């Protein structure tokens, strides 16, 4: 954390709350890792005499982006298996490779790669769903990144755990170890309704209520999920989750591409948070989440990238753009999900879903100084008629110049400050070779 107070002076401040607001000639004062004040530039000398200034000419300052769904370590599998349907992609390619190589070293290297990519794209918080969450948390703490790590549950053995009891035991050990860490949040991450049984779901519900944790779940990602649930349990997945007491505001439901209009109203009434991953859903041809309808119904829609293995990037700026365009195109309404709402989905909506909207997701005094500066004076984003539209519809992630988490500068003029880029690339190259040389089963 930067020790002394500092004033950030961008051309524009986009606080997100209230939605659509853009402030000019405004300094953001950061002290002890928090946003201390928003001060008119003309008053800065009188209110904060002698304060260090960071000039951010030509840039917009936004809250750090919140990536609400990813599997960070899978960055090592980027491009390994493309142009396949979901279950073939998982069962024939991804799960076999993970089964052969999964372990702490793999997760450490993949998470470092993912964090580097996310920071360079303006992301300051990621909601992770993967094995060895203790390793993910360690890397996040060491690199200064904010993360919510999940305690995994799936009904077959993995390198992380062999039995249901071991999944719970190891998960609760992770909770006990990291529950007090400032940069780390925790959740339960049962994989999906088709891979977790009722008894495990019931235990998760009880523990989530006792520990006040969210439940981060792949749900209604593909069409055959509904019929398989009816065959195995005699219930639609939403009915099954409702029966198990899981259909409520603790539930962070990822994908949700198979919703009917009545389903939309149902999940909105229940307070379920929707984690929309448009790029991954399109690439796997899983379907399209009805975001415009969900937004109109009052559901809290957030954005995630999914893994780099299915996306193939961790670019939340691109997800904002795609989410807005998909909502317009599928609804036939050009006013659906305007730029300001897309930015909210990538910031304050994610913070709300995580129960962290009192700490992150907007530029307001008292909140953590999780911030990203994005250059708008480049050819690709000129002229600037509307700052927020330019951020959502035009700005590439390569124009993110500076990023702070809790006041600590993780990206300084495009240079990573807590990760060695050359060492990271060398480790990634070694893992690529190892993956290529690992024999198939």
363-422 per-position pLDDT tens digit? 999 999 999 999 999 999 999 999 999 999 999 999 999 999 999 999 999 999 999 999
pLDDT in tens, 230-261: 999 999 999 999 999 999 999 999 999 999 99
Residue 51 has pLDDT above 70, yes or no: yes
Q: Over range 52-65, report the average pLDDT.
A: 98
Which pLDDT value is given to residue 440?
Answer: 54
Strand partners, 214: 187
Lowest mean pLDDT among 70-79, 86-95, 167-176, 381-390: 86-95
Spatial contact of 58 and 24, defined as CB atoms under 8 Å apart:
no
Spatial contact of 219 and 195, defined as CB atoms under 8 Å apart:
no
Which pLDDT value is given to residue 90?
Answer: 85
Q: Over range 102-107, report the average pLDDT.
A: 96
Distance CA 236, CA 425 (A): 45
What domains lie within the chain, and their CATH numbers?
6-63+367-406 (2.30.40.10), 65-353 (3.20.20.140)
DSSP H helices in 56-123: 86-89, 95-101, 104-120
pLDDT in tens, 255-272: 999 999 999 999 999 999
Which pLDDT value is given to residue 3?
Answer: 66
Percent of the chain with pLDDT over 90: 93
Task: For residue 1, name the pLDDT band (cuts at 50, 70, 90).
Answer: very low
Which pLDDT value is given to residue 297?
Answer: 98
Residue 441 has pLDDT above 70, yes or no: no
Q: Over range 59-83, report the average pLDDT.
A: 96
Distance CA 283, CA 63 (A): 28
Tokens 């999964």, residue? 102
Q: Cα-flanking dihedrals φ and ψ of residue 2, to 5°?
A: -65, 130
Instruction: Please provide the average confidence, as pLDDT, over all residues in the chain.
Output: 96
Long-range contacts of 35-40 (CB under 8 A, 24+ apart): 35/363, 35/364, 35/365, 35/366, 35/367, 35/368, 35/369, 36/5, 36/365, 37/365, 38/13, 38/363, 38/365, 39/7
Residues in the chain: 441
Strand partners, 380: none
């Amino acid at each position: 954390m930067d020790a002394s107070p500092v004033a950030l002076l961008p051309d524009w401040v986009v606080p997100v709350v209230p939605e659509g607001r853009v402030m000019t000639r405004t300094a953001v004062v950061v002290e002890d890792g928090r946003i201390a004040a928003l001060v008119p530039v003309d008053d800065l000398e009188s209110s904060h005499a002698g304060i260090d200034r960071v000039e951010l000419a030509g840039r917009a300052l936004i809250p750090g982006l919140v990536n609400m769904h990813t599997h960070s370590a899978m960055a090592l599998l980027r491009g390994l298996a493309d142009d396949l349907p979901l279950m073939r992609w998982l069962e024939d390619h991804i799960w076999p490779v993970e089964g052969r190589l999964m372990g702490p070293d793999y997760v450490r290297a993949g998470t470092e790669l993912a964090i580097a990519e996310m920071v360079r794209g303006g992301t300051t918080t990621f909601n992770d769903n993967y094995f060895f969450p203790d390793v993910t948390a360690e890397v996040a703490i060491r690199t200064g990144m904010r993360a919510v790590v999940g305690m995994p549950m799936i009904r077959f053995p993995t390198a992380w755990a062999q039995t249901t009891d071991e999944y719970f035991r190891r998960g609760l050990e992770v909770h006990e170890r990291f529950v007090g860490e400032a940069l780390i949040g925790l959740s339960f991450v049962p994989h999906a309704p088709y891979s977790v049984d009722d008894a495990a779901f019931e235990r998760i519900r009880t523990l989530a209520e006792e520990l006040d944790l969210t439940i981060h779940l792949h749900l209604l990602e593909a069409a055959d999920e509904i019929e398989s649930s009816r065959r195995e349990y005699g219930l639609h997945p939403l009915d099954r989750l409702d029966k198990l007491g899981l259909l409520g505001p603790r539930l962070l439901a990822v994908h949700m591409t198979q919703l009917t209009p009545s389903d939309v109203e149902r999940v909105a009434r229940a307070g379920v948070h929707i984690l929309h991953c448009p790029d991954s859903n399109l690439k796997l041809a899983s379907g399209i989440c009805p975001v415009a309808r969900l937004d109109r119904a009052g559901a809290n829609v957030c954005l995630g990238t999914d893994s780099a293995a299915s996306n193939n990037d961790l670019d939340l700026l691109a997800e904002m753009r795609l989410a807005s365009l998909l909502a317009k195109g599928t609804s036939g309404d050009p006013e659906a999900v305007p730029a300001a709402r897309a930015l909210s989905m990538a910031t304050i909506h994610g913070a709300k879903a995580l129960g962290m909207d009192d700490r992150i997701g907007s530029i307001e005094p008292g909140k953590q100084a999780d911030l990203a500066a994005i250059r708008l004076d480049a050819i690709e984003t000129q002229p600037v008629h509307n700052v927020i539209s330019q951020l959502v519809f035009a700005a590439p992630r390569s124009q993110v110049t500076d990023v702070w988490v809790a006041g600590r500068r993780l990206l300084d003029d495009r240079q990573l400050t807590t990760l060695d880029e050359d060492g990271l690339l060398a480790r990634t190259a070694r893992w690529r070779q190892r993956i290529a040389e690992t024999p198939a089963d």
